Amino acid sequence: MFEGIDFSKMGAMLEEAQRKAKEIEEGNKNKTFIAKSGGGLLSVSANGEGEIIDVTIDDSLLSDKDAMQILLISAINDCFKMVEENKKLVASQMFGGFGSLDGFR
């Protein structure tokens, strides 16, 4: 089962994977995801780590607290979904290269 596999290369491959993961993590910090609701009356921005970094609310919503709360919840949830989808995409791209053992031979 393990014939022809050079395990001495495993350490170097793991170091490369860690370096790449750190690089991707740093890149994600600089990404911004924006979700809008209410036809753009309210928007929420988050970075790639899922931290809310900005909220913009149109003045017309200030007099309707219930509508503003609903739109805010919707935009926050949409923003979090974008961040999670990005994390899944990055993980699949990063681990896609580990699907074979060719690098160990």
Residue 64: its pLDDT value, please?
96
- Residue whose structure tokens are 């003045």: 59
Domains of the chain and any CATH numbers: 7-91 (3.30.1310.10)
Beta-ladder partners of 44: 35, 55
- Token pair of 4 as six digits: 């022809």
- pLDDT confidence bin for 76, thresholds 50/70/90: very high
Outline where 1-105 has alpha helix (H). 10-29, 65-96
Beta-ladder partners of 37: 42
- Token pair of 8 as six digits: 């001495």
User: Model confidence over 30-75: pLDDT tens digits?
Assistant: 899 999 999 999 999 999 989 999 999 999 999 999 999 999 999 9
What is the enclosing helix (H) or strand (E) of 59? none
- pLDDT confidence bin for 4, thresholds 50/70/90: low
Burial 64-100 (b: 16+ CB within 10 A, else e): eeeebeebbebbbebbbebbeeeeeebeeeeeeeeee
More confident residue, 31 or 1: 31
Q: For the whole model, what pTM was predicted?
A: 0.71
Phi, psi dihedrals of residue 57, rounded to the nearest 5°: -125, 125
Residue 98: its pLDDT value, please?
55
Give the percent of the chain with pLDDT over 70. 84
